[in-house]
Structure 1
Amino acid sequence: MTDDLLICGAGPAGRALAHRALTAGLSVTVVDPQPRRRWTATYAAWADELPSWLAADTLAAVVDRPLAWTTRRIEVDRRYAVLDTAGLQDALTLDGARVITDRVTAITRPTRTGTAGLELPAARLSSARVLPAGRVIDARGVPRSPALAEQTAFGVIVERERWTAETLFMDWRDDNGADSAAPRSFLYAIPLDDDRVLLEETCLAGRPALSIRELHDRLIHRLRSRGIELTGEETVERVRFPVQGGIPGTAFGAAGALMHPATGYSVATSLRLADAVVAGDAIWPGSARAVYRLRQAGLRALLALPPADLPVFFDAFFTLPIASQRAYLSGRDELRATATAMTALFAALPWRLRGILARAVTMPSPRPGATTNTAYSTDPA
């Protein structure tokens, strides 16, 4: 039997694609080493990024105006949604799909072989089995590599009454015990539901990124400075994944370069684009590829900033009009709006930072093993 669609990987991107393909009436095979493993990561998104087909009960919490603490307190006038991880996984049902527990070792693209006609694409499994399909889509994520900047984080889940402060999209205040010249990290504090809050010390992107141990120590210090002592019995979350990698147009999810390199967010984009991929539509027009290159340049700029200046950079960013913030964070094919937002951000920064950013943007990506210094949120692909 040859299915319409074979999806390699059953993480959020692969599962979303399979679910929407089944909804559209396609025959689907999903291959994953652990297809029924329960997800444990925290996924969040700007509410306006989520597709209309996503059930409301997959949202664990929605915050109307999350806070950013940069050099000052800023309310971000954009709704922020925290997904119910278990609810999302259950909602993306694979009922009707053929699910195979195995590892994909190679994907063969379609080729023409003389008079034999079109040879279908196929996936080769570790069991040596070869599965052809009408389309084969790689949604296995991006493997770690010293050449890629990574995002790391360490968090704890506490009862709501132990955290009486507001939702913090990012908090750059320097009460985490780190040396002023050390790579920066920030506090991410969001509700998981009516009863629990995630408090997470987060490093946006580093090559190498801050270690989980260092982030653990910083979080303990920060919370203690704010009067919160941990018992050691709290549920913890550890985050480590590349914020670079993937190739536009050849795969889906992080493997298909749908991760935003300056935030690490990809789940909402994968959910939103799943129907277009199922329909066979092109999701990488020239404008999207150009925005992708601008975002890569933006990541290089972040990596180049001196640690002490990161709050200044984000102060300028969150001072931009919401439309400009949205264009850079969510407008993956809005070239003019993205370029306008980046130009406005550059103009809002002090002169001493403009030269650093200009040099970083025009230089190639840092070599593998180069040390960098920045920080951000939690959205494994």
Structure 2
Amino acid sequence: MVGAGPAGRSLTHRLIRHGVATTLVDPHPTRSWTPTYAAWTDELPGWVHPEAIAATTAAIAAHAHRPIRIDRSYTVFHTDGLQRSLAVDDATVITARAREVAEHHVVLDDGRVLGATHVIDCRGPTGRPRPRQTAFGVVVPTAAARTAIGDAEAVLMDWRAPQSEDSWDADGPAPSFLYAVPVADDRTLLEETCLVGDPAVTIAELAQRLSRRLAGTGIDSRHAGHTERVSFPMLGATLRPWRCRPLRHGAAGGLLNPTTGYGVAAMLTAADDVAAAIVAGSDAVSVMWPARARAVWRLRVAGLGVLLDLDPAQTVDFFDAFLSLPPPAQRAYLSDRADLAGTLTTMARVFGTLDASGRRTVLRSVSRVDHAIGRASRRRRSSAR
């Protein structure tokens, strides 16, 4: 296992539980994780330890053109607790950087060669620095956060523009939204988020937007004690992760949803699938990437292209339509990696609510992404020959 982030550590943890002798390689295997991770509660496998959970809400609020209540439980991880709960004490942990990663061996930076029946690459995304998701957040007492989010337990997306603007200008910079979740019994994260941009909104700009958004609430984000900065690519090294050899697991291996940035729950769930495949002597790639999962991935990549092409006003229209769908329709698109019929149905429902301009943007974006995927596939076949 190469990489000790959430993907590598969770897969190592589950392989050990399945009785598989595992070696974990990482230059900093005990480095503390710092991001705030979250997931829809129904995405989590049953083995997740209670110490990994910071808070769970029965529903979550949103706001695009109108306030929306999403009746679907939402869980915020306790980052330290999650890392501790994914115990790897029974693995062989090697503190080193991998210089070469192949299907049956790893070459370390000091020249050592490690042989293995299976090698899985769990390092983060490389080679595609854009597009990115960016965010800037502050952690404040929950009582203080009430002045910004009202009575909601948590806010998934508040697309209203910061106070100094009436609305997002169709010809202006990429929009951002407020994300607000409990991270402890008495602490709440308030985060200004650019869902995706190419280039993305800078952290500095998001910090300024958050300050403007919170103006008049009694919260001065410029003097907050704890801040969070987020910036990560929304795509891995390839548009066809099922063709990676060795298997890539995690954000770089297609388990990060490129339209939302969520991925930890998918990594936790898929860890058991990969472990079971290895124990059974099956091809883990085939288990992870059946035809329907590949098709859903392509649709999600197309969805990313749509989000990048929507202007700010269209973006709010799009999410007003999506967030107004019933939770089962949202779940089909957001959470199930292999629900092709559900994904297509949800996309069609959102498409049907858009105006003519929005529909033209969607069709143009999907066509361009399909062309790019096809071109990448042809290049790979040509190089193979």
TM-score (norm 2): 0.87
- Could you tell me which of 265, 269, 288 is aligned with 1:268? 265
Q: 2:327 aligns to what?
A: 322
Of the three residues 106, 110, 126, the one matched with 2:109 is 126
Partners of 1:329 and 1:245 lie apart in 2 by 18
- CA distance 1:67–1:107, shift in 2 (3 Å): same
Q: CA deviation at 1:57?
A: 2.9
**Structure 2 letter corresponding to 1:87:** G
- Counterpart contact for 1:144–1:242, Cα < 8 Å: no
Aligned length: 349
Give me the whole-angstrom Cα distance separating, in 1, the residues matched to 2:209 and 2:370. 29
Q: How does 1:152-171 map to 2 (within 5 A)?
A: 152-164=134-146, 165=150, 166=152, 167-171=154-158
Looking at structure 2, the residues matched to 210 and 57 of structure 1 have their Cα atoms a distance apart, in angstroms, of 34
CA contact (8 A) 1:144 1:241 kept: no
Q: Secondary structure at the match of 2:117?
A: strand
- The match for 1:20 is 14
Give 1:333's aligned amino acid: A
Q: Does 1:54 align with 2:48?
A: yes
Superposed CA RMSD in Å reads 1.6
> Partners of 1:55 and 1:279 in 2: how far apart?
20
* Structure 2 partner of 1:80: 74
Contact 1:159 1:195 in 2 (8 A): yes
The answer to whether the 8 A contact 2:128-2:236 is kept is no
Name the structure 2 match of 1:287.
292
- 2:144/2:218 contact within 8 Å kept: no
Aligned to 2:132: 150
Alpha-carbon separation, structure 2, partners of 1:231 and 1:205: 24
Q: How far did 1:127 drift?
A: 1.1
Give the 3 Å change call, closer, same or farther, for CA 304–230 of structure 1 in structure 2: closer
Match of 1:222 in 2: 213
What does residue 305 of structure 1 align with?
Answer: 310
Deviation at 1:177, TM superposition (A): 4.2
Q: How does 1:112-123 map to 2 (within 5 A)?
A: 121-123=104-106
Paired residues for 1:60-209 under 5 Å: 60-109=54-103, 121-143=104-126, 145-146=128-129, 148-164=130-146, 165=150, 166=152, 167-175=154-162, 177=164, 180=169, 181-209=172-200
| Deviations 1:141-195, CA, capped at 9 Å, x for gaps | 102644x310000111111121112221111111254673221001101100111
Query: Quick one: structure 1 residues 194 and 91, their matched pair in 2 at CA, closer, same or farther if it must change by over 3 Å?
Result: same
Q: Are 2:362 and 1:357 equivalent residues in the alignment?
A: yes
Q: Is residue 32 of structure 2 the alignment partner of residue 38 of structure 1?
A: yes
Relative to 1, partners in 2 of residues 1:233 and 1:354: Cα closer, same or farther, differing over 3 Å?
Answer: closer
Structure 2: runs of 5 or more not aligned: 278-283, 373-385
- Is contact 1:152-1:203 (8 Å) kept? yes
1:254 aligns with 2:251: yes
CA deviations on 1:75-122 (whole Å, 9 max, x unpaired) are 01111100111000000001111111111121122xxxxxxxxxxx00
Where does the alignment leave 5 or more consecutive residues of structure 1 unmatched?
1-6, 110-120, 368-381
Q: CA deviation at 1:227?
A: 3.6
SS of the equivalent of 2:184 reads coil
- Ranked by relative contact order (alpha carbons within 8 Å, sequence separation 6 or more), the top structure is 1
Instruction: State how far apart, in whole Å, the 2-side matches of 1:289 and 1:145 are.
Output: 20
Q: CA deviation at 1:231?
A: 6.0
CA distance in 1, matches of 2:118, 2:109: 20
